[in-house]
Amino acid sequence: MICPRCKSVISFKKDQCDNCGEDLRLQKRIQGASNGYYNHALAKAKVRDLSGAVEFLKKSLQLNKKNTQARNLLGLIYYEMGESILAMGEWIISEQYQEKGNEATKYLDRLRGSATKLDALNQAARKYNSALESTRMGNEDLAVIQLKKVVSMQPNYIRAAHLLALIYIHSGDKDKAAKILYKIKKIDINNTTTLRYLNEIDMPAEPPQKKRETVAAASQTHEIFKETDKLNPISSYKEDKPSPLPWLSLFLGLILGVVVTWYLIVPEVQKYREGEEVSELESYVKQTEKQETTIAALEDEIADLNKQLTDAQDTITEWENKDVFDPAMYDDLFDAVSLYSQGKNVKAAEKLLDMDVESLPTDAAKSVYKYVKKATFGEASRTIYQQGWQEYTDYKYDEAKATLLKAIKYDPNNADALYFLGRTYNQLNNLKKARFYYNKVIEDFPGTTRATEATQRLNAIKE
């Protein structure tokens, strides 16, 4: 356990920090509750109650966002349900909280190492978005064709299977809808949407066949989801159970104390001076006031934590009530992830260049965006700079200007691109712009070769 004040590593059994004296009892209860929710989620995941597990994991992360085991399990479940972007987002966030010894790194490496798998996930998500748009436009026949393709590519994509079943229900083909819903139920046994659709078409929660194909369902499990078999529950904080022995000892001690007080202490107490009694009383009053202050501070801290939990739940409810999966919202992000996995970093960066990260509705999607951007924008800037430099040397100054401006857009700190942009404006006789970029190189990169060259060029313009 980490002390919230001094960040020291403290044993979970201790109630107080050995380094700074911080009271850790409230934090232990919060972390214990988070671990408890994780344990419930793990139990549900192992019996394929994925929806129930997701709810418990969200509560676990509300209490402790740095619970990487809970976050990794949530990513595994999202991946099993076909939500690959959400899964990668959770694992990337987990890596940020725990860089070493984190299973999330292994999951991400496994995905990055298979460009074919990532491309298949990308194509499935794009086809689902296209099918959703076709459904909204009333073209259900086309949507069915697209969704059948998605389900064949990714059988565990629950969201796509639900949409296909809903179209069948709308068209009156209840048998096909029931067949799809029973397959989904083998993946997520207590999915409320599945159960609601089955109830809507008057079908039982269990298939009518006598033999349940649970073994077949298990064979469809993703390789990554099998990692849940290796996961173990983590300890939860619990109050010690009261024992009668301390009370018995207290009772006997009271009796002994009364006897000793009556025969030994009372006569001595009568000898105390009045001034000493007043001093002791004042000390007791001060100690009581200090305890009351501590209790009030703890109550305020608890109230603040409760408010944070309420705000977090309201935020989650607000997003759950929104249709955050609009068609094409993730298309560029999917493309960028796929291109990055194939080593095409410049093309991946182009996909992200004009994307508004704030328009992405989830923290997981934003984390994926930032991760790919950090990995690709620097290389894209250097590659585009080389193209601009070649255009400059070929006397194609207008083309060089546009290319170098693009390189700076990817990386505003590309000193080479800034310097040659100044030289390009110099050749185009736009001396005002040339001075601006020369000065920027001098100010932002002092002591470098480019700063020295920019100073010489600037002096030549002034002369």
- pLDDT tens digits for 33-83? 888 888 988 888 888 888 888 899 899 888 888 888 889 898 888 888 888
Nearest CA among 176, 115, 114, 116 for reference residue 151? 176
The rounded percent of the chain whose pLDDT value lies above 90 is 17
pLDDT digits (tens, 9 = 90+) for 72-128: 898 888 888 888 888 888 888 988 888 888 888 888 888 777 777 777 778 888 888
Q: What is the pLDDT of residue 414?
A: 93
Same domain, 216 and 149: yes
User: 264 or 373: whose pLDDT is higher?
Assistant: 373
Taking the C-alpha atoms of residue 454 and residue 441, their distance in angstroms, rounded to an integer, is 7
Q: What is the pLDDT of residue 237?
A: 44
Which amino acid does the sequence have at 175? Answer: D
Same domain, 456 and 337: yes
Same domain, 108 and 123: no
| Angle at 184 (CA atoms; ends 46, 139), nearest 5 degrees | 150
Residue 291 lies in a domain: no
Name the domain count of the chain. 3
Q: What is the pLDDT of residue 428?
A: 93
Residue 195 lies in a domain: yes
- Please enumerate in sequence order all residues whose Cβ is within 8 A of that of 188, keeping only pairs 6 or more positions apart, or say none: 48, 49, 50, 51, 81, 158, 194
Same domain, 92 and 137: no
Taking the C-alpha atoms of residue 171 and residue 166, their distance in angstroms, rounded to an integer, is 9
Same domain, 362 and 447: yes
Same domain, 149 and 196: yes
Q: How confident is the model at residue 267 (pLDDT cuts 50, 70, 90)?
A: low
Residue 239 carries which DSSP code?
P
Taking the C-alpha atoms of residue 460 and residue 454, their distance in angstroms, rounded to an integer, is 10
Residue 278 lies in a domain: no
Which amino acid does the sequence have at 27? Answer: Q
Write the CATH number for 427: 1.25.40.10
Residue 212 carries which DSSP code?
-
Same domain, 133 and 108: no
Same domain, 165 and 88: no
Residue 447 lies in a domain: yes
Same domain, 74 and 122: no
Same domain, 83 and 121: no
Picking from 220, 239, 259, the residue at the C-terminal end of a domain is 220
Same domain, 191 and 101: no
Q: How confident is the model at residue 228 (pLDDT cuts 50, 70, 90)?
A: low
Same domain, 138 and 63: no
Q: How confident is the model at residue 417 (pLDDT cuts 50, 70, 90)?
A: very high
Picking from 220, 248, 274, the residue at the C-terminal end of a domain is 220
User: How many helices and strands (H and E) does the chain possess?
Assistant: 21, 0
Give the range of the structural domain holding residue 95, as residue numbers without chain letter: 25-113
Q: Has this prediction a pTM greater than 0.75?
A: no
Residue 268 lies in a domain: no
pLDDT digits (tens, 9 = 90+) for 138-174: 888 888 898 888 888 888 888 888 898 889 898 888 8
Tokens of 305: 């934590």
pLDDT digits (tens, 9 = 90+) for 16-37: 666 666 666 777 778 788 888 8
Nearest CA among 405, 341, 401, 400 for reference residue 376? 341
Taking the C-alpha atoms of residue 66 and residue 381, their distance in angstroms, rounded to an integer, is 34
Taking the C-alpha atoms of residue 238 and residue 28, their distance in angstroms, rounded to an integer, is 9
Rounded to an integer, the average pLDDT of 244-270 is 61
Residue 396 lies in a domain: yes
Q: How many CA atoms lie within 13 A of 297 on its CB side?
A: 8
Residue 64 lies in a domain: yes
Picking from 87, 113, 139, the residue at the C-terminal end of a domain is 113
> How many C-beta atoms surround the C-beta of residue 197 within 10 A?
22
Q: What is the pLDDT of residue 437?
A: 94
Residue 263 lies in a domain: no
Asked whether the predicted pLDDT for residue 421 surpasses 50, the reply is yes
> How many C-beta atoms surround the C-beta of residue 438 within 10 A?
29
